[in-house]
Each structure stands twice: as structure tokens, then as C-alpha cells.
Amino acid sequence: MSARTDLRVETTPVPGLLVLHLPVHEDNRGWFKENWQRAKMTALGLPDFDPVQHNVSFNTCRGATRGFHAEPWDKFVSVASGRVFGAWVDLREGPSFGRSCWIELDPSVAVFVPRGVGNAFQTLEDATAYSYLVNDHWSANASDEYTFVNLADPTVAVPWPIDLSASDVEMSDKDKHHPMLDEVAPMAPRKILVLGADGQVGLALRQAADASGRRDCEFFSRSDCDLEDPQCFDGIRWGAYRAVVNAAAFTAVDESETAAGRRRAWSVNAAAVARLVRATRGTGVTLVGFSSDYVFDGEQALHREDEPLAPLGVYGQTKAAGDLALESVHRHFIIRTSWVVGDGANFVRTMQGLCERGVSPSVVSDQVGRPAFAVDIARAVFHLLDGAASYGTYNVTNSGDSVSWADVAREVFAVSGGSVDDVTAVTTAEYFAGRDGIAPRPLRSTLDLSKIVEAGFSPPPWRDRLREYLGV
């Protein structure tokens, strides 16, 4: 028994199109190969593209010619028997549009074809079996996302071994009449779907996308997709998205301790996340969710991403359950944050309003952490999705000193023209004395930012962002 070649992966002029040379082991019975071996191939640079369907095209005669079809999914093409001349042309929106390459495939060669790259082949032998793995199921709803180009396009200029006008070339009528390259509408990239687009983080994501001119984001508000509805994900074609950012949450911490609030918190923060995981499993979609300092008991002065979960109240318990559901997915980012400040009602706006009205508040001074401005949370999300960071959990707040809520209130008063002496510091016990149904709070909420900084994202100091937020 001998191996024809070692497993190796080569790049091509078309970005993301990879050629794999496969070991083929021969003996007197025939040959054997590992046509798809996830662990070995991904270690050499092949994307972990999660194939879900395997198709085989058997071609009876030499000269059968198929393509160029660019589909909204990735493909891993190979030959089980015979030989083909394969050709590919980039039909994706971007600078590589129209770039092409070609190579001969036998059982020892396979090609990874990214979404949006047109794939074509011509059989060079009778009884050729052409095989391909894809990472999405065919759907009639996806047919309008296909992109085609004519096999004889002079710009692509593929040197077909058998002339397309030859009598022994078998082509479909559709392939013969596909448009030339200059008439092709490029395939747009898969989008990022944002759920909960009307919340503080959702609004910040929309504003960040608009400010940077991104056209790859789609935003669903609660009216578009209500996570309390068990059927809210029905009808969504996940193959159209490369990532889903779930910015929807039930954040009423004290209400979560009531009978009705407990049900809503579990429904939105935990059950809906589990349904999202099930709905997107096997689609290759990256899931992004948001966690909270409330998943910890506040005993540690500085919380790392790998600290064991120990929530004190119902809200924290439901967020922890959502975290665990997301962690069951390989492609996931969990953004753990605290003390969020964005558009709409929040602590900073409340303190600013009190200062403007001349009200002197009593503010808790024994809960310590750092604010997280929604604008920087949104920046961190896009940084992770657009870069090469490893999947997993990342703490994201603004940088700077750890302070109490009372310290933040004093800073708001100082920046807004008031006096720091107008803020009276009280303990959590004093602040909530005589009130029922109050959720327990972690007293120490400072999150360690080392991991997100190592991933190339450095959040600005919270005091600087506060002044910008208040327009000073």
C-alpha cells in the first residue's frame, strides 16, 4: 500500500478558494482516501464550514459540462471516479469580482469553494462521479440568491479542454444562455442580523453600522421578532446571515423576582436563546449574545471570563442559563458587560436630570464596577465579527478606575455643572430599606478586560466617554 501524496492545502488567485491534495492509498483491491476529514483539514487552514448535505453527480460520458453556478453556501467538491476539468470565477461583490482559476481534478484533488464563487466542470472521462458537500440545505427560497455567468465568457476565458461547440459536449440550455460577466449582478455578502434592535445595545449597533457605511446589517426590533413568542424564528432563512447578534433581553432586575417577571425573564433570557441555538444549528451562523455581571456573586474583586457562574437572583440566573446555551455552539461570542449606558433611560441620564432640576440624590456606594457605554460595546461586537479573534466569552466595559454608583453620580454632577457634594453616599442595605421584592446585587462587578485587549480592542476610559456622552 502506498500514499499518492501527502495532505496539503494550497491557496488560489480567488480569495478563499482552496485546493486540497488528498492522500490516496492504493493496493491490489483498488484505492482508499479520506475525502473529508474535518480535524486534519481545518488544522491546515480549511474553514470549518459544517457541511449538512452530500450530493453526487454521475456523468455518463466524457464532455459533460456544468456551471458556472455561484450559490449562497460553501461547497467542498471532489471526484470519486474519473477526472474533471474544474473552473471557478469569483462572482462576489468586491475587488476580486471576475477573478478566475482552473485545475484538473482526479480522486487525489479536492477544492473548497466559498459562497458566491461560480463553480463549473467538464468531465474528461466516461463514468465520472463528481461529489460535493454543502453547508446549507437547498431551498426554493434561496434560488433568487444564485448568481451565474456564461461558460463561454471571453473575459473569464476558461481554456476548456473540449471546445464548448464540440459535438460531444453536453450542456444544459440554461447554462448556454447565462449572462456574460459584464451583465452579472455580484452576489452580496451574507448579512449580520441584529435582534433587539430597539434596545440600548441594538440602537448602538445600528448607529455604528450607519456611521461606518456598513450595508451588511439587518435589524429586527421586537415587533419584527418577539423573543417571547415560541414561533418567532419560524421563516427566517439563516443561510442569508453570517452572524446573529441577540441584543434582546429582559433586564428588569427587580421585576424578575416577581411571579410574572420571573416567567418573562426565563422566556427571553434563557428559553429564547436555547431556541435560537437549535434554530441555527448546522447553518454555520456565528451567534453573539450579551451576558451580565449579575451572573457572578460579586465575591471576586476582578471577574475573569472563566470564573464559575454563581448568580444571586433570578435575572442573573436566566442570563447564566442563556450563556450556557450559547456555549454549546462552536461559533459563538458572549459579550459580558455591566452598567450599560446608551440611548434611552439609564442611570447617567437619570443623574443628569436630577442635577438639572437641583435634586440631591442618595446613591449606593458599596457596589463597585465600571460603566460600559453602548457605543463601545457595539464597536467591540463588530471588531470580533470582522477580525480573527477566537470564539468564546469576552468581558467588555470601558476602561479606567473601578468606582461605585455614587462615584459615577458625582462625576455626572461635576460634568453637568453641579456639585459632587449634592450626592449622598449610602449602602445598598440603606438604599433599599423597607422595600420588598428587591433583587440581590453583586457588590463587586469589575470585569477583567485583558482578553478583549489582547484581541486587539482597547475600550476608552469611562470618564472620557462620559463627558462625550453628556456633550461636554
- Catalytic positions, written as ranges: 69, 132
DSSP one-letter code for 51: -
Give the three-class secondary structure for 12: coil
* Calpha distance 64→170 (Å, rounded): 5
CA distances from 454 to 300, 448, 449, 450 (A): 22, 12, 9, 6
For cell 424578575, the residue is: 256
Give the three-class secondary structure for 192: strand
Find the DSSP H helices in 289-440.
314-327, 347-357, 374-386, 405-415, 428-431
Show Cβ contacts of residue 79 under 8 Å, excluding neighbours closer than 6 positions.
Answer: 105, 106, 107, 109, 128, 129, 130, 131
Residue 324 grid cell: 450556557
- Cis check: omega of the bond before 68, within 30 degrees of 0: yes
Answer for the pair 337, 372: CB distance below 8 angstroms, yes or no.
yes
Residue 441 grid cell: 446585587
Pairing of strands 109-113, 18-21: antiparallel
* Calpha distance 291→162 (Å, rounded): 58
